[in-house]
Chains A and B, each alone.
Chain A
Amino acid sequence: MSQGRTLTFNIFRYDPQVPDDKPKMVKYQLEEAPGMTVFIALNMLREQQDPSLQFDFVCRAGICGSCAMVINGYPTLACRTLTSKYPKGEITLMPLPGFELIGDLSVNTGKFMRELAERLKLWLHPRNDEVDIHRIEAPMDPEEAAKLYELERCVECGVCVSACATKQMRDTFVGAVGMMKIARFELDSRDARSVEDFYHVIGNQDGVFGCMTLLGCQDNCPKDLPHMQQIAYLRRKMATALV
């Protein structure tokens, strides 16, 4: 354990709210503590050196997906990144590209996720529209539930969007998060939408046929979600849909 090292942070600083502010990289130094994560280091920097430093966090445990940023060229969660991972002790932090910048390392992933959910209609469309609160809910097959749970693990951190060059080049592309959620409802037996319905949502250049399989999503997802298999599954499914 590299204890007591001096870490050097190069942090992107820019506040769009401040008139005449220009994007710049600012250097900070901090003494490393045992088990320190980038998230802990950022909090210490803000407490001890620069209270104006902006970044997001809620859970500090890789569940909320708020603290995603680009760390030394890899988009990932700050709270799950140990500083000891970097032998040189130099850490460069950039905000996630592809999202609206709130300031410094803070980006508006929430706005993006909400727009995506509305556009792709990412909620359950029940088979039976008639509401009857007295009806007993049909049990779900445990295997199906496990499959859905696997895809539900997405924390909407935005890493897959930032890691995807396709998404960066085509703003309207739904990205891995969109396809993951579509796949989740496609697998759900309670959802009334047919393959053809889903085709009309993602069977185009903005959806699964726009994916160029660069796999930035697969290689960077902090929750290790099976993006590669999932997108391939959707591609096969959509390619054989009779539209």
Chain B
Amino acid sequence: MKVNSLQYQHTHYAALGSPWSAKADRIQSATGILLGCFLLAHLHFESSILFGKETFYQVVQFLEGGMFSSDGHGMPIVTKVFSIFIMVVVMLHAAVALRRFPAQLGQWRALRNHMQGIKHKDSHAWFWQLVTGFILFFLAPVHIFTMITNPEIGPHLSAERVYHANAWLLYALLLPAVVVHAMIGLYRVAVKWGLIRHRKGLRKAIKVLIIYLMTLGILSLISYIMIGRSLVLPITPFVP
């Protein structure tokens, strides 16, 4: 008699693996890649202020769909809609990434003991991703909500927000958190799915990117503060 042991095992296993485990993992990586790439673009667009007010103005008009409007001016509604989309992606990413958070004190203790006892750089990198991820729970929505409620962007409008509405404090905290989180995240997603075989080069590239993006972000933040200081309230939007 043929013993159909496999069928038995299949029913035994059935309770353990849920299709949602795979889905959650795919969603986390996909939303992570999307947000990481968006951050790379975002920081470059906003730092175009370093090339002068006019360059930044043109970049904004272009991104707000200026070529589709009759007067060539961009429409802030584009920013509003895109911000809502990013908010949804962030929420989705946060929801599935929560699976990774140590939820119990015992887990934090185990993590601390591990970090103290075992020397391992990638584990430490993950710890910083965890910390910055936690910070982003509070900082990222504040920034995105502002862009949903007040989507007006421009050399003077943004500078007013940064300097006169004190958004510089938010950005100064948000910048390091988001850059570190996103870059380590992109590195992890590449090794997680086996997109690369050797980590050494990628690790170096990520370090360089973190320094580069931080410099870019800090310089443009200073630039907005300088412009903000020179503005008289109530401000008039910049027109070239």
A residues engaging B (CB < 8 A)?
70, 72-75, 94, 97, 121, 125, 129-130, 162-163, 165, 168-170, 192-193, 196-197, 199-207, 209, 211-216, 219-220, 228-229, 232-233, 235-236, 238-239, 241, 243
Contact = CB atoms under 8 A, between A and B. Distances in A.
A105 B5 CA distance: 41
Given A213-B191, A243-B17, A162 B24 contact: no
A200 B10 contact: yes
Interface of B: 2-6, 9-10, 13-14, 16-19, 21-22, 24-26, 99-100, 102, 107, 110-111, 113-115, 117-120, 122-123, 126, 188, 191-194, 197, 199
B2 A130 contact: yes
A235 B25 contact: yes
Contacts, number: 127
Contact of B117 (A73, A130, A203, A204): A73
Given A214-B126, A215-B122, 12 more contacts: A97-B117, A125-B9, A130-B2, A165-B111, A165-B118, A165-B120, A169-B111, A200-B10, A203-B18, A207-B21, A229-B197, A235-B25
A73 B118 contact: yes
Contacts of B120: 163, 165, 214, 216, 219-220
B118 to A, nearest CB: 6
Contact of A232 (B2, B117, B122, B192): B192
Contacts of A70: 117-118
A216 B3 contact: no
A207 B25 CA distance: 12
Contacts of A125: 5-6, 9
Contacts of A94: 117
A236 B12 CA distance: 24
B16 A200 contact: yes
A203 B21 contact: yes
A129 B5 contact: yes
Given A168-B111, A169-B102, A201-B17, A216 B22 contact: no
